[in-house]
Amino acid sequence: MKQLLLLLFTLLGPNIIRGEIAEIVAKAGDEVLLSCPVNTPECGEFHSLKWYRDSSRMYVYSPAARFSNAEGVLMDRCLDISQRSLGADCARGYLSVTATNADLRITPIEITDEGEYRCEITYLDVSNNCPVVHFTNLRTVAAPEYVSMSISSNPGEDISGQVVGPYSSGSSVEFSCESRRRQGTQGI
């Protein structure tokens, strides 16, 4: 493994391999801003910038070609006839580019948006030794769709939202809590 990393570092240079990986936690339904630092004052203009989630391209931007497009799951709502009222706002991904940042805004966040996001910058002049890849880990969270609480002595009775007791000092009681969401079941 060390040999592979050394080979990659030798071939690609310090511009690609970076130890810093930003981490963002976002709640389903909210908005998230993924930032990609660009440095046009020092590194010059760039030909294109691409955002990926894991291995899927999410957004492509090229100022030279005057092209800016969300792709893949960021465009799924545009293909859903029930979402036609969104019109041009059907995309869930929007890019904002300045001389120092290329920020990808995703809204609304879906639980399935979780993953490793990668921004790749293709500068016109590659001799400036500028970073060309930036990573961000996005973790998504959501409230459970179902919650049930019970006393172990009566597991079939849901006591969620109820007052339980009173119990004498020193007595013991065992509770069980179960919650579920779309991506499986969580038990506590």
**DSSP letter (8 states) at residue 77:** G
Average pLDDT of the chain to the nearest whole number: 82
**Cβ atoms of 103 and 95 closer than 8 Å:** yes
Residue 8 φ then ψ, to 5°: -60, -45
Interval 72-99 mean pLDDT: 86
d(C-alpha 125, C-alpha 131), whole Å: 12
Give the count of beta carbons closer than 10 Å to the beta carbon of residue 34: 24
Predicted confidence (pLDDT) per residue in 93-151, tens digit: 999 999 999 999 999 999 999 999 999 999 988 777 788 999 999 999 988 888 888 88
pLDDT at residue 147, rounded to an integer? 84
3-class DSSP state of 101: strand
Looking only at the bridges linking them, the beta strands covering 67-70 and 56-62 are: antiparallel
With left for phi above 0 and alpha for psi between -120 and 50, is residue 184 left, alpha or beta? left
pLDDT at residue 95, rounded to an integer? 94
Whether cis (ω within 30° of 0) applies to the bond prior to 144 is no
pLDDT at residue 5, rounded to an integer? 35
- Residue 99 token pair: 């001389």
Predicted confidence (pLDDT) per residue in 7-45, tens digit: 333 334 433 444 578 899 999 999 999 999 998 888 889
Residue 50 φ then ψ, to 5°: -130, 140
Interval 80-85 mean pLDDT: 84
